[in-house]
């Protein structure tokens, strides 16, 4: 009997909602990475390396602006949806405020881009590609991953993401055949995502019985005001994660930038693991915090432990296979890149150590604490990496980034313990 029950253990584990959320969010990220790997050489072959550079530059501009469109709703959205998933009116009001707010932000940013391209030379070399790329802002505005995370139905978002990326790849194959069509590459990416996102909105309205409440300007302003701290947190986090290569550009040659940039992409990919664990489980943690506080802390410890074990395995695997990873990416054994990867491969593990703190902040909606700790961490990161990069080059940058992860854990833990102590004192009084 025991042997029979063991055979069903993987199935029983997968029935866990948090495990399902993790799996389907991993499918979303994995699909995005896989399509990028397949599409990049295909696009370069059809439009040329020079046009591909402009496509990538336009995409970088739009990706930065997407932080404004998302406006921290990727963090606050799932938490509130999880809390009010059984209250149709509150859930619908939350749904309306986020969708409308993000669409308004996308419209404003598109208008700004149109005005800049019309009256300045800021994007002169790629203004047409950039204008076609603005549709990605609206695909971000209408994406509902946050909603399905909150109600713990991420499978739906996962399936539609896969379908939209397949549609994008097919569109590249059939429509992008000459350099003159380079302007349509990012447009096809955004259009395919927007098409399925609109379908998801319709599906959510019909299947989950949410509805759009009357749109009031005050509702939109209140929603944006409530999320302003999370927006700055996302912006600062983006600068902290992506700022290393900018700092390095002041001290090293383009060759070193290339060798470090390749390693940076690997590390960012590996960091998806702790991010996925956090995204998949904090809606349930939010629900436990409100409705079953006695289970809340044990759940946080359990998730944190699982994340650290998985990330430790990823870190060790990356360390021992660093040379093979670099050879696979560059078709040669670049000793410098191998060294950089061996130094930075511990970052996913360090990021997972901080999951407990981040879960604590998110479930309590401690936006002030999050922004405070992120500002301190970003200042340390810039100072430490600049100083170490000045003296030790790219190796110094890698060490500085690792040290900033350790510093982040320390500062977040201090902020969390202080808040917990203050909360305990208030409860006693």
Q: 240-264 pLDDT, tens per residue?
A: 666 676 677 677 775 676 677 677 7
% of the chain beyond a pLDDT of 90: 16
pLDDT, tens digit, 9 for 90 and up, residues 268-309: 778 877 877 777 777 778 778 877 777 888 888 888 888 899
Determine the average pLDDT of the residues in 362-381.
Answer: 80
Q: Categorize the per-residue pLDDT at 428 as very low, low, confident or very high, splitting at 50, 70 and 90.
A: low
Torsion of CA 423, 361, 295, 149, to 10 degrees: 150
Enter the tokens of residue 166: 């397949």
Tell me the average pLDDT of the chain. Answer: 80
Q: Is the pLDDT of residue 378 over 80?
A: yes
Region 214-219: mean pLDDT is 72
> Residue 215 region, left (φ>0) first, then alpha (ψ -120 to 50), else beta?
beta
At residue 268, the pLDDT reads: 76
The pLDDT of 91-97, averaged and rounded, is: 84
What is the predicted pLDDT for the residue at 134?
92
Position 29 scores a pLDDT of 66
The pLDDT value recorded for residue 399 is 93
- Asked if residue 75 lies in contact with residue 228, where contact means CB atoms within 8 angstroms, the answer is no
Residue 124 structure tokens: 């002169």
Long-range contacts of 289-298 (CB under 8 A, 24+ apart): 289/363, 289/364, 290/83, 296/363
Residue with tokens 């977040």, as numbered in its chain: 412
Q: What is the pLDDT of residue 194?
A: 93
* CB-count burial class (<10 Å; 0-12, 13-18, 19+) for 9: exposed
- Residue 123 is predicted with a pLDDT of 76
Give the CA distances from residue 149 to residues 25, 93, 229, 266, 272, in Å, rounded to whole numbers and listed in that order. Answer: 9, 17, 21, 26, 16
Return contacts of 295-304, CB within 8 angstroms, 24+ apart: 296/363, 300/356, 300/359, 300/360, 301/356, 303/18, 303/277, 303/355, 303/356, 303/359, 304/352, 304/353, 304/355, 304/356, 304/359
pLDDT at 25: 63
Question: What confidence score (pLDDT) does residue 258 get?
Answer: 63
Q: Say how far apart CA 8 and CA 4 lie, in whole Å.
A: 7
The answer, yes or no, to whether residue 331 has pLDDT greater than 70, is no
Confidence of residue 5 (pLDDT cuts 50, 70, 90): very low
Angle, vertex CA 217, rays to CA 211 and CA 219, nearest 5:
55
CA atoms within 13 A on the CB side of 151: 22
Confidence at residue 8, expressed as pLDDT on a 0 to 100 scale: 45
Model confidence at 156, in pLDDT bands (50, 70, 90)? confident
Q: What is the pLDDT of residue 319?
A: 93
Region of poorest pLDDT, from 333-342, 362-371, 420-429: 420-429
Is 50 exceeded by the pLDDT of residue 4?
no
Asked if residue 329 has pLDDT above 60, the reply is: yes
**Sign of the dihedral through C-alpha 79, 82, 85, 87:** negative
| Secondary structure class of 329 (helix, strand, coil) | helix
What CA–CA distance (Å, rounded) separates 322 from 338? Answer: 6
What is the distance between the terminal CA atoms of the chain, rounded to a whole angstrom?
53
Do 28 and 145 touch, CB atoms closer than 8 A? yes
Position 21 confidence tier, pLDDT thresholds 50, 70, 90: low
121 three-state secondary structure? coil
Is 0.85 topped by the overall pTM?
no
pLDDT at 17 over 70: no
Predicted local confidence at residue 326, as pLDDT: 81
Q: What is the mean pLDDT of residues 123-133?
A: 84
Burial state string for 21-38 with b = 16 or more CB within 10 A and e = fewer than 16: bbbbbbbbbbbeeebeee
- Rounded-to-integer distance, Cα 24 and Cα 155, Å: 5
Residue 312: pLDDT over 90:
yes
Beta-carbon contacts of 374 under 8 Å, excluding residues fewer than 6 positions away, are: 232, 233, 236, 237, 240
């Amino acid at each position: 009997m025991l042997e029979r029950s063991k055979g069903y253990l993987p199935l029983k584990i997968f029935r866990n909602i948090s495990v399902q959320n993790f799996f389907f969010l991993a499918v979303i990220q994995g699909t995005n990475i896989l399509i990028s790997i397949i599409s990049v050489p295909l696009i370069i072959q059809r439009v040329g390396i020079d046009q591909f550079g402009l496509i990538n530059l336009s995409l970088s501009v739009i990706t930065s602006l997407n932080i404004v469109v998302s406006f921290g709703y990727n963090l606050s959205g799932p938490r509130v949806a999880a809390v009010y998933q059984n209250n149709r009116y509150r859930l619908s009001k939350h749904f309306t405020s986020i969708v409308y707010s993000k669409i308004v932000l996308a419209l404003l940013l598109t208008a700004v881009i149109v005005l800049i391209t019309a009256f300045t030379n800021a994007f002169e070399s790629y203004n047409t590609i950039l204008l076609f790329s603005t549709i990605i802002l609206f695909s971000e505005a209408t994406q509902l991953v946050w909603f399905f995370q909150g109600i713990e139905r991420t499978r739906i978002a996962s399936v539609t993401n896969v379908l939209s990326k397949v549609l994008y790849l097919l569109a590249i194959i059939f429509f992008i055949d000459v350099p003159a069509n380079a302007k349509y590459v990012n447009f096809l990416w955004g259009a395919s995502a927007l098409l399925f996102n609109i379908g998801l909105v319709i599906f959510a309205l019909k299947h989950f019985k949410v509805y759009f409440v009357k749109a009031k300007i005050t509702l939109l302003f209140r929603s944006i005001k409530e999320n302003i701290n999370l927006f700055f947190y996302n912006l600062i986090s983006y600068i902290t994660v992506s700022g290393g290569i900018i700092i390095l550009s002041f001290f090293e040659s383009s060759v070193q930038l290339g060798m470090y940039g390749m390693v940076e992409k690997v590390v960012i990919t590996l960091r998806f693991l702790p991010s996925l664990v956090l995204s998949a489980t904090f809606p349930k943690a939010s629900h436990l915090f409100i409705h079953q506080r006695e289970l809340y802390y044990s759940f946080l410890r359990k998730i944190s432990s699982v994340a650290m074990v998985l990330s430790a395995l990823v870190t060790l695997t990356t360390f021992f296979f660093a040379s093979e990873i670099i050879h696979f990416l560059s078709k040669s054994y670049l000793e410098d890149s191998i060294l950089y990867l061996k130094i930075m491969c511990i970052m996913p593990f360090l990021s997972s150590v901080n999951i407990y703190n981040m879960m604590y902040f998110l479930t309590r909606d401690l936006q002030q604490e999050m922004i405070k700790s992120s500002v301190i961490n970003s200042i340390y990161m810039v100072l430490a990496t600049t100083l170490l990069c000045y003296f030790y080059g790219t190796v110094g940058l890698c060490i500085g980034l690792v040290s900033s992860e350790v510093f982040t854990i320390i500062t977040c833990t201090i902020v969390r313990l202080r808040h917990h102590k203050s909360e305990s004192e208030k409860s006693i009084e």
